[in-house]
Amino acid sequence: MMRQMRQNTKIILWIVVVSFVLTIFAVWGMDLRTGSSGQDPSILGRVNGVAITRAHYQAVYEQLASEYRALSPDGQLSYSQLDLIQKQTWDNIVIAILTDQQIEKLGITVTDEEILNFLRTTPPPEIQQYFMDEEGNFDYQAYQRALNNPEADWTSLENLARQRIPRLKLNQYLAVQVHVSNDEIRQAYEEEYTKITFQYVEIPIETEDVEGYEPTEEEIQTYYNEHLDEYTDDEKASLEIVKIDITPSPSDVDDILYTLGVIRSQILSGEEFATLAQTYSEAPTGKEGGATGWIGEGQRDPKVIETLASLDDGGISEPVEAADGYYILQRIEARTGEDGSSEFSANEIFIKLRAGSATTDSLLVLANDLQEKAQSVGLREAAKANNLEVLVPKPIYQNFPLEDIGFVPAINEFAFSNEKGSLSRVLRDETHYYICQLMDRIPATPKPIAEVREGISKTMANEHKKKIAWRKADGLHRQSGIIGFAAAAEAHNRESQTIDSLRVNDSGEPFGPRSAIAKTALSLNLREISPPIEWIGSYYVVQLMSRSAVDEDDFRKNAPTISNRLYQEKIQRYIAYWYENLEKSSNIEDYRSSLL
């Protein structure tokens, strides 16, 4: 068993390397020397002077990609997913380095005694899997015997503990910054369990009449100046792009037709259609042996329905071309549907037509040659020499799609992480290669007041409506304290509504769960009337009519669970806040766009 553990040490550490905060993120491949540059092609970036090596980045990337592939039904990843993995890889490494730096800054250390206690009392999950009994449970005694074996080499496990314990201590340091009060626990309990009955009056904002209201130019200018951030055009990037379509070649069509021809021959030779469908078909029905159930017009490509109509029961089709691939079909049975159209029960094998490796490789060579030539003569001249069009879409905002192209994460990342004039490497998505030149980075600038005047005028009119509605709601609230809630509602020509036996967390009508209306009602004393509450386009005035008594025994029973839930929620928010501020205050240099 110990030999097996030593053989699996690298696997264990790979599992560990991509974990976050509570688990270790190993520092393999990090160059701790400081310095400038980014010119070294083996260094992809720096975090407060700590270098991120290409080898480390690639290792973490491959591990993450492997985990994503394991979750994919067909084991394949789209280029959008690969872009996401690249971002996650970078973020994980940055967070890991920042974590190590904070551990050092806070003086967090680990003693041999802490390591021994950790290994004896908290065996890592990566180790527990090697000490399972026949029922699949962790065998603690077997683990202790192995731990006490003087001939066993536990160096790797000790190193794992030496790296993990400081992170646990850091997490404890962050956790003690969080506190959940008794009042918070009680409020959460009451929101979940206390039933309230309350009356309310609604004053809609939109129905208020502001006809004749027209803000002056001076008022518009003042509003514009006070809300300038709302009328600022975000940063944009201007690009010129050469797009090379990755489309199947005639040889790709020949390949798929040959494959389907072989499959058809196997079916005709007596092999089970279902077995071949499970092996080859890319249709959702493949897992079920290719059975389609009853299908008709509109449920498959028209050519599929036409072919089924032409077959006899039991007949096997030649390869049938559809919009995105080819089918082999077996008709089982035909019938006339309720609307008089033909319906068919069939078996299908579908293979998607896609560009093969020879096609994509040849197109990539073209794209790389174009990119290399563009470095010396410019993208326009390089494209012209290859009879390729240069696309000039409208300037784009970050994380927005390109005109006539759509959203390509790699292009967006390039556009907003490089300087004017930069030329991209060859980028791609599922169906295209791209070479881009960044023509301009247009900084965020306030929009001219003439451009937003009409919008400001409408906004001010809506604000005026809100003021009118609030004054009416406030007047009703004040008068309720004198003549009563129902009488005040009647005096204001408003109808009061009653909500009976509602819990704040209930999802019932008309407000939905955790609405400001219900939470305010819960906070009131019996018969107390609330000031105006704004909620989804209206103001509300609420009076609490009754409240169920708190079952103190039940509260004490549920308090620990509620406290733990609130505590975990607060910790998550605090850690995210802590790391966000830590990242903002750090010097993070990213050279990937020029090196990958």
Bridge partner list, 391:
241
Tell me the one-letter amino acid at 200: Y
The Cα–Cα gap between 251 and 358 comes to 9
Q: Give the CATH number of domain 235-247+358-443.
A: 3.10.50
Q: Give the CA count within 13 Å in the CB-facing half-sphere of 225.
A: 6
Note whether 511 and 462 are within 8 A (CB).
Answer: no
The Cα–Cα gap between 523 and 533 comes to 13
> CATH number for the 250-354 domain, one of 3.60.20.10, 3.10.50.40, 1.10.287.3510, 3.30.460.80?
3.10.50.40
Of 371, 361, 385, 366, give the one whose Cα is nearest residue 435. Answer: 371
CB-based contacts of 357, cutoff 8 Å, min separation 6: none
H or E, element range at 521:
helix 516-523
Please report where in the chains the tokens 């319906």 appear, as a residue: 343
- Do 195-230+450-547 and 235-247+358-443 have matching folds? yes
SS (H, E, C) 283-321: CHHHHHCCEEEEEECCCCCHHHHHHHHHCCCCCECCCEE
Residue ranges in the chain modelled with pLDDT below 50? 1-38
pLDDT score recorded for residue 155 = 85
Instruction: Residue 318: count other Cβ atoms within 10 Å of its Cβ.
Output: 13
Of 44, 9, 51, give the one whose Cα is nearest residue 30. Answer: 51
H or E, element range at 580:
helix 552-584
Note whether 356 and 376 are within 8 A (CB).
Answer: no
pLDDT score recorded for residue 39 = 60
Note whether 90 and 592 are within 8 A (CB).
Answer: yes
Tell me the one-letter amino acid at 319: P
Positive or negative, the CA dihedral 301, 307, 311, 317 is: negative
| Angle separating helix axes 217-226 and 449-483, nearest 10 degrees | 90
The pairs formed by 80-87 with CB atoms below 8 angstroms and a separation of 24 or more are 80/409, 80/429, 80/430, 83/409, 83/410, 83/413, 84/409, 85/61, 86/61
Tokens of 362: 């040849």
Tell me the one-letter amino acid at 583: E
The Cα–Cα gap between 385 and 551 comes to 82
Q: Give the CATH number of domain 195-230+450-547.
A: 3.10.50
Note whether 242 and 433 are within 8 A (CB).
Answer: no
What ranges make up the beta strands (E) of 357-407?
390-391, 396-397
Bridge partner list, 200:
497, 542
pLDDT score recorded for residue 222 = 95
The Cα–Cα gap between 161 and 116 comes to 9
pLDDT score recorded for residue 38 = 42
The Cα–Cα gap between 70 and 62 comes to 12
Cis check: omega of the bond before 204, within 30 degrees of 0: no
The Cα–Cα gap between 55 and 512 comes to 51
Domain boundaries of the chain, sorted by first residue: 2-176+587-595, 195-230+450-547, 235-247+358-443, 250-354
